[in-house]
Amino acid sequence: MRNPTAKTTVRSEEYPHDRKAYNRESYDYDIGKFLKKKLGGSKEVKIRFGITGDSGTGKSAFINAMRGLNDDDDGAAKVDVIEATTNPTEYKHPDNPMITFVDLPGIGTPNYPDLPTYCRKVSLENYDRYLIFTSLRFTKYDLELAKKVKSIGKSFFLVRTKIDDAYRAESRKRTFNEKEMLEKIKRYCFENVKDFISSEKDIFLISNYDKERWDFFRLVEAIGDA
């Protein structure tokens, strides 16, 4: 486990919205508990991450990857080539039971065609932190979700999945340069969310099926530090 004291200063700079979010009367948390957790590494505060984004971006596959499960293992979140998650489902972090992930259905399908419907059906405002998942292209739903999360005074990480696919496709080009490709994707993501996040560090480029590469571990660490 990491040293909580060493991380405190950096973390409060990285997530300036946290204090505001946890100080809202409408939530179960109070500022005392929040600071205690930040400063002392107490495990008293439970953090629920809302895992959200367009349908098919790899939200459920990420939860399985985090929990060390294959997509077809018993107890794994349902992953499919068609719309898969139909109801919010909660999963515990494998190393820290105080952190849970709520696997949400994807937005942008006939079942969840717009943000108001989505917010109502999945109780989008009820989570403490968010991971917004995006894959090939940044969409209007990604933007709406980012705006919504910011408007309720909470923070999110933007997770760009399927980097393995991008790598495979792009490496067919004679001019392929992996570093440049990654920088291009990150810049593109940042340009789209720069008004809603504090730093490019809150953007993660991952593959759920190649955890050793790219930003998967950095994301796991950032979640653990939350």
Ligand X SMILES: Nc1nc2c(ncn2[C@@H]2O[C@H](COP(=O)(O)OP(=O)(O)OP(=O)(O)O)[C@@H](O)[C@H]2O)c(=O)[nH]1
Which residues form the interface with Mg ion (CB under 5 A)?
Answer: 59-60, 84-85
Which residue, 37 or 162, has its beta carbon nearer to ligand X?
A: 162
Task: Establish if 21 lies at the interface with ligand X (CB under 6 A).
Answer: no
Nearest-angstrom CA–CA distance, 55 and 47: 24
The token pair that represents 78 in the structure block:
């349902």
Which residue, 155 or 208, has its beta carbon nearer to ligand X?
A: 208
What are the angstrom distances between the C-alpha of 65 and each of 18, 34, 99?
A: 26, 28, 15
Task: Establish if 83 lies at the interface with ligand X (CB under 6 A).
Answer: yes
The token pair that represents 135 in the structure block:
């894959």
**The entry of ligand X, Mg ion, none that residue 56 binds, CB within 5 to 8 Å by partner kind:** ligand X
Nearest-angstrom CA–CA distance, 19 and 107: 28
43: Cβ–Cβ under 8 A, 6 or more apart, which residues? 37, 96, 98
User: Interior CA angle at 64 toward 161 and 172, to 5°?
Assistant: 35
Which residue, 64 or 192, has its beta carbon nearer to Mg ion?
A: 64
Binding mask 87-116 for ligand X (x = CB under 6 A): ------------------xx----------
Nearest-angstrom CA–CA distance, 185 and 226: 25
**The entry of Mg ion, ligand X, none that residue 17 binds, CB within 5 to 8 Å by partner kind:** none
Binding mask 36-75 for ligand X (x = CB under 6 A): -------------------xxxxxxx--------------
Positions touching ligand X (CB under 6 A) are 55-61, 79-81, 83-85, 105-106, 133, 161-162, 164-165, 207-209
